Amino acid sequence: MEGCLARQSHLMTSVLDLCSFLSLHFLKQFHLQKIRPTPYFIFLALHIQFCCSSRPHHHQLKNHSINTMGNCINATSSLQNLSTKTIQPLPIETMFKLPSPLPSWPQGVGFASGTIDLGGLQVCQVSTLNKIWSIQEGGPDNLGATFFEPSSIPNGFFTLGFYSQPNNIPLYGWVLAAKDSSDQGILKKPTDYTLVWSSESLNIKQDGVGYIWQPIPPDGYKAIGHVVTSSPQKPELEKIRCVHENFTDVSDIDGWIWGGSSGINIYSSRPKDRGLQYLGVSTGTFIALQNNSPATSLAGLKNVQGNFHVMPNLNQIEALVQEYSPVIYFHPDEEFFPSSVNWFFQNGALLYTKGQESNPVGITPTGSNLPQGGSNDGAYWIDLPSDDSEKDRVKKGNLQNASVYIHVKPMLGATFTDLAMWVFYPFNGAARAKVEFFTIKLGKIGEHVGDWEHVTLRISNFNGELQGVYFSQHSKGTWVSSSQLEFQNGNKPVVYSSLHGHAAYPRTGDFLQGNTKNIGIRNDTGKGKFFMDVGANFSVVSADYLRSTIVEPPWLNFAREWGPKISYDIDDEIKKVDKFLPGKLRTAFEKAIRGIPNEVLGEEGPTGPKWKDNWSGDERT
């Protein structure tokens, strides 16, 4: 009888040990594959470990090991190791800082002075943030979001709203604090708060319960941001300030922070109207929208003063370029490189006139004989040299001679400076398509003479810090926060130019445009041996607020196209590919290709930088 019990005990021990080993094994595999197991799985695994560690005869099992195919695992030590390895800190628990400290900027009037006067309302950026509440599920990458209260606010300034961001990226943000420097009663406390939403009913992982409140402003004033608490008691009225409506503008949602089935969505905010002619100011606060709400009642700020004394002067611009000049890497298989505009003109580029196509003329190095102003009426265009051998040579560009052309413009009520950095390529190569697992050359589709591409640096006028980079990708593009950029040589962001099409991306990889069921135009990037340091050869070609300090080159005011219309039938080019595809893929391929913007399909050269809508407006996303 005792022997039977011993065998049963030994069998039970073996079964429990096997369960212990398997639970640890799967947790370890989740960790190695960077997969976040569900809370239920973690609970089950830990429960098994608890049962194993607290079973009878635990003194026999204290240092017990299981040998499985040569792998000896100690259950106790493995659990301890996994507890430190599998529970990785969230990215937001790390605060992002630029790789190198900011330099001392050249002397100026108001740039990088720490505060900006909006016309009696002084504002400053506050980036010291205290965590109030966090949720660990939902949102980007299903990692949740965290809400912060600004702290260390300068004397005399007041909070306008709290800050929030997703947990899947390092902490990098700010909100504006404000001070009434005019004694006009621009700031007032709210009269009350209304509860927008609470997480009480959510059955997901969170740090306690969060409550989002909206201030109720006095008559003639508007609330700028929300307040977040970890208790159901209303915040103190002293916690925040509302702003007189004369100093406010319409606010709009921007990037998604968190939400979904919880009944609410959290977004970052931005002015609704953005561009050179608009004075809306970004406040850094978030917007909480219930799922049935069409818009927010929160407002943004406005620079009623409308002057540009906080914009950088020419010396400061040059210092900013040297500090943040991107390094552009070209694909290892790239054939068509950039050149300077002057090199392009000096190496045989021709100006054509409608009706006189047989008599093109050469172009002076600065473009002084190009028609100025007007509109893109098709009366003139630029083309490659007429000689075939020269044409092929010029198509390849001249990287050694290439230059970057910078347009400096005030954005978001002159609280930021945009440095739009334009690169000219004499030729845009043919496109390639991805159809499931196959890469297909698209003949002439995508080819055109003259290719203008750009990236834009957005720099805070409060301190001169790089906030993010816009990567232009044909008809639109994407903003990438500084916390998500690759840097080299200090604070220089890395840009990858796609093969043939020269779209800009923040990392290497294969990016599909017009992606429909894994079918679309390929934009491949790679770190080839050729690169371009923007700071090595650049010129500031336009900055309206500096008036006569900058003289625009004549070629910038050429309103027509930098390439001829290429005659090819897109249907014929598609048919050349269609014959290699089965029926379902053929239909999907045709749909994807016809949905691609004209900027990608080619056929005709683009207009110059000054004639694109983002010259005076915000970037297209």
In terms of Cα–Cα distance, which of 275, 276, 296, 279 is closest to 287? 296
Q: Give phi and psi for 287, each to the nearest 5.
A: -120, 125
Tens digits of per-residue pLDDT, 375-421? Answer: 999 999 999 999 999 999 999 999 999 999 999 999 999 999 999 99
Query: pLDDT (tens digit, 9 = 90+) per residue, 553-608?
Result: 999 999 999 999 876 666 676 676 666 676 767 777 777 666 666 655 656 678 99
Residue for token pair 């003639």 = 220
CB-based contact 216:193 (threshold 8 Å)? yes
- Nearest Cα neighbor of 608 from 372, 356, 336, 346 is 372
Pick the closest to residue 194 from 217, 215, 219, 164 (CA basis). 215
**Cβ-proximal residues to 161 (8 Å cutoff; 6+ apart), any chain:** 175, 223, 224, 225, 226, 227, 240, 283, 284, 285, 286, 298
**What percentage of the chain exceeds 70 in pLDDT?**
80
- Which pLDDT belongs to residue 68? 34
Please, which pLDDT band fits residue 283 given cuts at 50, 70 and 90? very high
For residue 200 the two structure tokens come to 């009480």
Which distant-in-sequence residues (6+ apart) come within 8 Å of 227 by Cβ? 161, 162, 193, 212, 213, 214, 215, 235, 239, 240
Quote the percentage of the chain above a pLDDT of 90: 70
Using the predicted structure, report yes or no on whether residue 264 has a pLDDT greater than 80: yes
3-state secondary structure of 413: coil
pLDDT given for residue 172 in this prediction: 98
The pair of structure tokens assigned to 481 is 């926060």
How far, CA to CA in Å, does 484 sit from each of 427, 470, 487, 516?
31, 12, 10, 27
d(CA 78, CA 399): 55
59/432: higher pLDDT: 432
Burial of 328 (0-12, 13-18, 19+ CB in 10 A): buried
SS3 58: helix
Greatest Cα-to-Cα distance within the chain, rounded to the nearest angstrom: 112
Distance CA 542, CA 406 (A): 7
Residue 447 near residue 469 (C-beta atoms within 8 A): no
DSSP one-letter code for 456: E
pLDDT in tens, 413-448: 999 999 999 999 999 988 887 777 767 777 677 788
Q: What pTM, to 2 d.p., does this model score? A: 0.83
pLDDT band at 69 (very low <50, low <70, confident <90, very high): very low
The rounded distance, in Å, linking the Cα atoms of 122 and 160 is 12
> Scanning the structure block, which residue is given the tokens 């990236």?
455
Mean of the per-residue pLDDT values of the chain: 86
- Which of 31-35, 295-299, 549-553, 555-559 is predicted least confidently? 31-35
Query: Residue 571 has which token pair?
Result: 């249907």
Residue 493 identity: P
